[in-house]
Structure 1
Amino acid sequence: MTHINEKNKVDVLSVSFDNVTLFDMQHNINQFFNTQQHQNMFIVTANPEIVYYAFHHKSYQQLINKADFVIPDGIGVVLASRILKTPLKDRVPGIELMESCLDIANYKQQKVFLLGAEDSIVQQAQHNIEQQYPNIEIASHHGYIELDDEIVAKRIQDFQPDYVFVGMGYPKQEQWIAKHQHAFNQTLFMGVGGAIEVFSGTKKRAPMLMRRLNLEWVYRLLIDWKRIGRMAVIPKYLFSVLKSQNMFKRKHV
């Protein structure tokens, strides 16, 4: 699809972000479904880990840069854009964008498919969404599948969803979307990471005050010390951002 802010892009380590707010994305999604078309919408929710991974894996970088929207899911991306003197308006948390999609789906009585997490977790997430959004028709499948598993892909296709939320973690979730989206019509695809666990109730979001202070990452670390290994990428990411800024300055001296 062609989206409405094609020229309003911000480059962070060669990942091309759309300079949008959550409200902008709600408008874009409504506009997408209000216009009859055969094309799909592919949304990438990119945090610093994804950006750093893409910086070192060019094929993945090219894949996500072909998406219809790449949104800044994390304060680290917004801070990097400010360091690079091309500030993004705001972070757009993937979980909140998914909630916005569910609000729209509930209003329009649409169909949602969840692909990801363990079987018991995705089933619980499906149940919770059914309770909270009674006008949505929803189905699900666990995320422990191979990229070329055509049986699951065909099951999802037969369901004819309006939304497919893929929670397999990067890069697999975006690779799955890129491989299979051609078989669908006017469907919104989004990689949602651990959002399915949040909707299942097995993971909690940070208290509202910490979210407003952009400290949700601290809360995640406090409740799950296994994340400390993943957090090690942050200083490497920031170093790469600072290095890219210095290279840009040298080019323009």
Structure 2
Amino acid sequence: MFLLLFVAAAVLVSLCLRSSQRLSLPGGARAEGFVFVLGVLLVGMAGIAYLAFVGDAGNDSFSTPEAVMARSLVPEALLTGAKLCLLAFAVYVFSALRGAAGLPAWIADVLVIFAATLAVRADSGLMLSIATSSVADAPVVNLGAFTTPLTVGWIWLVSRLCAGLSRVPAVTSGYLGLFAGLIFLLVGDASGVITPALTATLAGAGLAAFVLGLRTPHLNLGWSATLAMGFVLGLCSAHGLLQSTLPAIIALAILALGLPLLNVTLVQVRAKLRGQDVQWSQSRQHLHEALGSRGVPPRKIALLYFTLGFWGCSLAYGVTRWFESGTPNLFVALIYSVLLLSSVVGGSIVFFSIARILMRRVPGEEVPESIEAFGVKISPVSMCEALDKIEEFIASGTPHHVLTSDANAILTSRGDAEYADIMRHAALTTPDGFGVIWGARLLNLPIYERVTGVDMVTGICERAAQKSYRLYILGSEEGVAALAARNLMERYPGLQVVGTHHGFWRRDGKEAGLSSAEADAKMAEEIAAQRVDVLFVAMGIPMQEKFIAAQLQRMKTPVALGVGGSFDVYAGKFNRAPQTVQRLGLEWLYRVWIDPSRWKRMGYVPKFMIVALRTWLFGSKNGGATPDAF
């Protein structure tokens, strides 16, 4: 039956919201909010009536003698449910009238308190109580003379917290649905007929409206409708024991404050660790506003917030069930506490990072030529900007070293002084790898886009075919460079690859009696003789960068670029990850999947994450930007 209520509410509210665009209400009231409230209350009342008369055939608790006796009091159950639904509708109507008249918000508070008082008088079950233990059917402690005022205050608190959700209209209904579902799972049918019927209905309506809102960006329930639905949730949560519903209210508080509070908290912690003060403008900033101003689409903001809500509700549900099951011993309780703390901290960092990564460069934003981050110099360029700079280097005719910097390269530079110096003096260092983007965005540095070696090869070849640039491919296993060159020339007609050579010229030189330095010099002279515009070196870090730095002037190549294993892709030895995997920043995981031996080299991933988090919390001794919250 509860599933039927969930589906019925979802379908009815979806249909009503679709048709609400043609509905006009007086006083500027939002039609979406009106049809949402009306749909929830009508389906909820229908569910209450059905459960009171028939019960839930699939639920054994409705077949107990107590349940049968309760259903014999049909008029009282229906009357109570009708009164509560009418009070909720009255809260909506009078709150909407208050808003239309421009009256202060405290009038709505008085209205909710008055309605809550009437609800307590209408339903004797609306009384908060505290369970004496987590055992089922445990005795409860009555709060005495404080019961009524505490219950009224509880309903008001839930109502106001829900009303606060309306500042992010795209996720308001989703939050209402999540919280209603949480109360249903925590309290269920143990609180009678009204609570499960209304929470199942609101869960279906809220989640359906959220999904519809993703396709209809202007969908907005409004403050009054959210307040009225908060009133319903306050009534439902008051039917349950305080022990069961308090974590749910805490979860709602997390949802209401949302990531803006999370952002402020993390910024304050970081500032204290750095010995800095937090500006007032930082502490008053809402995340959804910052995301919108940084070019994040409303749909992505809504999905981010909804995921946060689901995470918070899941934690609340887990904590409640943990308390109800009891803790066998102190050690188990300690383990659970550590897991909970880890979930909170880890989830906070994940959502904070995702919020930063979603941000984009805004028009007119001033971006420096290079940024000091994690001890290296990184150029905050897009792919198009990087290719434009490479063409400028070619036009100048003077040698330039271009390299890509991923997490592995940054960590390597921290233990290799020569390589670190090469990275600092490169003409262009592009951010290659999702790890670098994540770390840079965590520090709020203006680095927004991956510019990978394999993608730069594609871009350079496209422009080289049009402008007759001369290319040379050096490195990889024997035959790979030549095969990659043939494939590229077939893909880009007019492309000039004037030479290729495998990456084992030192071995060949040793067989000819040459030292490594002499073999390098000979290889550089061969490249110089070809009058190359762009040299691709595929030998892996840091070898390729050290070779380029040592031989750059001898090769006289305007652009020398280290591209690692890129030509294994162009030779057909490996396939790149699907575009979706690339956008998610999981290309490294895809490479491990197709080549499990790479697991041994993946240790740099957690190491770089630790470096990035430590830099974010404590700052960097090497300097660099220390920007505001968002």
Please give the alpha-carbon distance, in whole angstroms, between the structure 1 residues aligned to 2:397 and 2:431: 27
Q: 1:12·1:241 contact (CA, 8 Å) conserved in 2?
A: no
1:70-113 residue CA offsets vs partner (Å, 9 max, x unmatched): 11110100111122232412111211111111111111112111
Match of 1:20 in 2: 381
1:61 aligned partner, one-letter code: A
User: Which of 221, 229, 240 is 2:600 aligned to?
Assistant: 229
The percent identity for this pair of structures is: 27
Please give the alpha-carbon distance, in whole angstroms, between the structure 2 residues aligned to 1:175 and 1:145: 15
Deviation at 1:145, TM superposition (A): 3.0
Moved over 4 A (4+): 249-252
User: Which of 557, 575, 586 is 1:215 aligned to?
Assistant: 586
Please give the alpha-carbon distance, in whole angstroms, between the structure 2 residues aligned to 1:177 and 1:207: 31
Deviation at 1:116, TM superposition (A): 0.6
1:115-159 residue CA offsets vs partner (Å, 9 max, x unmatched): 011112112112112212231221100012335212222111111
Match of 1:143 in 2: 503
Deviation at 1:9, TM superposition (A): 2.4
Say yes or no: does 1:46 pair with 2:405. Answer: yes
Deviation at 1:6, TM superposition (A): 9.2
SS at match of 1:119: coil
Deviation at 1:249, TM superposition (A): 7.9
Please give the alpha-carbon distance, in whole angstroms, between the structure 2 residues aligned to 1:85 and 1:6: 12
TM-score normalized by the length of structure 1: 0.90
Please give the alpha-carbon distance, in whole angstroms, between the structure 2 residues aligned to 1:249 and 1:59: 21
Structure 1: which 5+ residue stretches go unaligned? none
Say yes or no: does 1:83 pair with 2:442. Answer: yes
Please give the alpha-carbon distance, in whole angstroms, between the structure 2 residues aligned to 1:210 and 1:156: 37
User: Which of 359, 372, 396 is 1:11 aligned to?
Assistant: 372
SS at match of 1:160: coil
1:236 aligned partner, one-letter code: K
User: Which of 521, 542, 560 is 1:171 aligned to?
Assistant: 542
Q: 2:464·2:470 contact (CA, 8 Å) conserved in 1?
A: yes
Please give the alpha-carbon distance, in whole angstroms, between the structure 2 residues aligned to 1:249 and 1:222: 34
Q: Hey, which of these two has a bigger chunk of strand by percent? A: 1
Q: Describe how 1:195-214 pairs up with structure 2 within 5 A.
A: 195-214=566-585
Deviates more, 1:50-59 or 1:242-251: 242-251
Please give the alpha-carbon distance, in whole angstroms, between the structure 1 residues aligned to 2:429 and 2:608: 18
User: Which of 597, 610, 622 is 1:239 aligned to?
Assistant: 610
Deviation at 1:162, TM superposition (A): 0.7
Please give the alpha-carbon distance, in whole angstroms, between the structure 2 residues aligned to 1:64 and 1:53: 11
Please give the alpha-carbon distance, in whole angstroms, between the structure 1 residues aligned to 2:524 and 2:548: 10
Higher relative contact order (CA 8 A, sep 6+): 1
2:451 aligned partner, one-letter code: V
SS at match of 2:494: coil
Please give the alpha-carbon distance, in whole angstroms, between the structure 1 residues aligned to 2:565 and 2:620: 37
Please give the alpha-carbon distance, in whole angstroms, between the structure 2 residues aligned to 1:56 and 1:193: 19
Deviation at 1:11, TM superposition (A): 2.5
Deviation at 1:21, TM superposition (A): 0.5
Deviation at 1:27, TM superposition (A): 1.8
Deviation at 1:203, TM superposition (A): 1.1
Deviates more, 1:85-94 or 1:11-20: 85-94
Say yes or no: does 1:129 pair with 2:488. Answer: yes
Distance 1:249 1:46, change over 3 A: closer
SS at match of 1:19: coil
1:6-64 residue CA offsets vs partner (Å, 9 max, x unmatched): 9432222111101110011122123333x3x3412211111100111111212211111
Say yes or no: does 1:73 pair with 2:442. Answer: no
2:379 aligned partner, one-letter code: D
Alpha-carbon RMSD across the aligned residues, in angstroms, is 2.1
Q: 2:386·2:430 contact (CA, 8 Å) conserved in 1?
A: no
1:10 aligned partner, one-letter code: I
TM-score normalized by the length of structure 2: 0.37
Say yes or no: does 1:92 pair with 2:463. Answer: no
Please give the alpha-carbon distance, in whole angstroms, between the structure 1 residues aligned to 2:620 and 2:447: 20
Q: 2:473·2:535 contact (CA, 8 Å) conserved in 1?
A: yes
Deviation at 1:208, TM superposition (A): 1.4
Q: 2:402·2:562 contact (CA, 8 Å) conserved in 1?
A: yes
Q: Hey, which of these two has a bigger chunk of helix by percent? A: 2
2:386 aligned partner, one-letter code: M
Distance 1:249 1:28, change over 3 A: closer
Deviates more, 1:207-216 or 1:158-167: 207-216
SS at match of 1:112: strand
